[in-house]
């Protein structure tokens, strides 16, 4: 029985990895084994960091809302609580955008939150 070395399928698999390794420096971009290790590691980071990015952005939005809320004389937690009680359904991404772009509208939201805190 003849020896099977893989032929076109093996070459396609190697080419796929080498294409992903394009731009890597030194052996990482030229040698198959080094390239495969580096590409696999990079794909793991990419998968993980797609989730980490969501966490990072949420933290950024909270910081922006908190800073704008302090200017309006209310804490972040009290602002969120007041908006929930006022049944204002704006998420943190939109609140942060309003805080950055239109401070007067954010001030009105802060007033709404303050008025619903006591009730």
Model confidence at 3: pLDDT above 90: no
What's residue 5's pLDDT? 81
pLDDT of 25 higher than 90:
yes
The b/e string for 50-74 (b: 16+ C-beta within 10 A; e otherwise) is eeeeeeeeeeebeebbbebbeebeb
Range 33-37 average pLDDT: 97
**Which of left, alpha, beta for 87 (phi over 0: left; psi -120 to 50: alpha)?**
left
pLDDT of res. 76:
96
Q: Tell me the CATH number of domain 8-117, given options 3.40.120.10, 1.10.1900.20, 1.10.10.10, 1.10.1370.30.
A: 1.10.1900.20
């Amino acid at each position: 029985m003849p020896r099977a070395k893989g032929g076109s399928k093996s070459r396609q698999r190697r080419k796929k990895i080498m294409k992903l390794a394009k731009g890597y420096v030194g052996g990482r971009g030229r040698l198959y084994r080094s390239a495969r290790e580096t590409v696999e590691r990079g794909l793991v980071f990419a998968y993980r960091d797609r989730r980490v990015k969501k966490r990072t952005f949420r933290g950024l939005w909270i910081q922006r809302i908190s800073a704008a809320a302090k200017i309006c004389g209310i804490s972040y937690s009290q602002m969120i609580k007041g908006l929930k009680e006022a049944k204002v359904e704006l998420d943190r991404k939109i609140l942060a955008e309003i805080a950055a772009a239109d401070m007067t509208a954010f001030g009105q939201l802060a007033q709404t939150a303050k008025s619903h805190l006591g009730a």
